[in-house]
Amino acid sequence: ITLCKQFCFIPKLPEIMSEPKKPTLATSMALGGTAAAFAVNFTHPIELVKTRLQVSGGSIGATCSEILSKEGVTAFWKGIPFGYGRELSYTSIKLGAYAPVRDAMGANEPNSPFYLKFAAGALTGGVGSIFGNPFDVMKTLAQTNKGSESLGALVNNLYRDQGAAGFYRGVQVNIMRACVLNATKMGCYDMAKGHVSTATGWDRKDPKTVFASSFIAGFFMTITVAPWDMLRTKLMNQPTDVKLYDGFVDCASKTIKEGGVLSLWRGFVPIWARFAPQATLQLLTIEALYTYLGYKGI
């Protein structure tokens, strides 16, 4: 054995390093929906406060105190079933379909043009918002409902007064919002991962890289999306039997006339307080699912 070790040549077999496989579009969308449905359990209360602030114009403290004193702690989760529906439809497309669509557009390299990454985000966000709009409308009505009206009653009242079209009110501004939001979120996140990884030496799939990049994306999302979010909330929160605005242009004009241009950014802090943890939870979860199942990350 000793002689063999000294004189015999034993070739070393090369290590086979397999590249992580890419998930199919359907698989990636399923993982995106799962990640979003998990995250919404934690961010829904923040969004409820944000939505009421946009409607009433009060302060964060006063809004929270009013909810606690008059409706109880569970009121912070009003409309959560519609929230699940939204995440499993809209977010499964905007989050889950991003990587496959980006790759199909040839923007899957770290140094790929940023406008292609933004275009992939805008496309998946816009398509997703069409499917998620009915859940968005019902979620907004449920979150602003301060009474004890059931979710079923809200749905019935909307259908009775406006028909099926009522579930798609505000769809124009919602599509624009989704395009801007997802282009900023996924484009900034994708680019930030490269910069963070280069600056720190962390791997792109390292949770620290994902956390830092998603937090950065959440901040820029808030800056670009806040005005669209305000207009969407106002359009979707119209009474079921009254039409207050003739589309998003009329809504924007009346909002600016009443409160000035900066009123479009009302609720900036709670919006950021929602976007930052939401983006972080969603992206951490989907990246963890990709890794666990052996798929290539974003």
Residue 94: enclosing H or E segment and its boundaries? helix 92-94
| One-letter amino acid for residue 129 of the chain | S
pLDDT confidence of 93, banded at 50, 70, 90? very high
**Is residue 220 exposed (0-12), middle (13-18) or buried (19+ Cβ within 10 Å)?**
middle
Residues in contact with 263: Cβ distance below 8 Å, sequence separation at least 6, in sequence order: 230, 255, 256
Phi-psi region of 51 (alpha: psi -120 to 50; beta: other; left: phi over 0): alpha
> Do the Cβ atoms of 134 and 42 come closer than 8 Å?
no
Gap between the Cα atoms of 97 and 25, Å rounded? 6
Do residues 89 and 133 touch, judged by C-beta distance below 8 A? no
Amino acid of residue 128: G
Q: Write out the two tokens for 49.
A: 């406060």
pLDDT for res 18: 61
Q: What is the pLDDT of residue 229?
A: 86
Do residues 4 and 235 lie in contact, with contact meaning Cβ atoms separated by under 8 Å?
A: no
| 207-236 and 171-200 helices, crossing angle to 10° | 160
Percentage of residues in the chain having pLDDT higher than 90: 52
What average pLDDT does this structure show over 99-110?
A: 90
Q: What are the residues facing 21 on neighbouring strands?
A: 295
Using left for φ > 0, alpha for ψ between -120 and 50, and beta otherwise, residue 239 falls in beta
Chain segment 129-187, per-residue pLDDT in tens: 999 999 999 999 999 888 777 888 888 988 988 899 889 988 888 899 899 999 999 99
Q: Which of the four pLDDT bands, split at 50, 70 and 90, describes residue 12?
A: very low
Average pLDDT over residues 44-59: 86
- Residue 94: which of 166, 139, 165, 33 has the closest Cα? 33
pLDDT digits (tens, 9 = 90+) for 213-253: 988 998 898 899 889 988 888 888 888 777 888 888 899 99
Residues 6+ apart with CB under 8 A from 48: 67, 75, 76, 77, 78, 79, 143
Range with the lowest mean pLDDT among 33-42, 61-70, 90-99, 110-119?
A: 110-119
CA atoms of 224 and 239, how far apart (whole Å): 27
Distance CA 249, CA 278 (A): 29
Share of the chain above pLDDT 70, in %: 94
Q: What pLDDT is attached to residue 4?
A: 47
The pLDDT of residue 287 is above 60: yes
Evaluate if residue 5 carries a pLDDT over 80: no
The answer on pLDDT for 57 being more than 80 is: no
Q: Is the pLDDT of residue 9 over 50?
A: no
pLDDT, average across residues 118-135: 95
Give the pTM: 0.80
Which of 20-34, 123-137, 229-243, 283-297 shows the lowest per-residue confidence on average (mean pLDDT)? Answer: 229-243
Mean pLDDT of the residues in the chain = 87
Averaged pLDDT, 59-78: 92
- In whole angstroms, give the CA distance from residue 45 to residue 274: 9
Tokens of 158: 């909307």
Q: Give the C-alpha separation, 59 to 161, whole Å.
A: 32
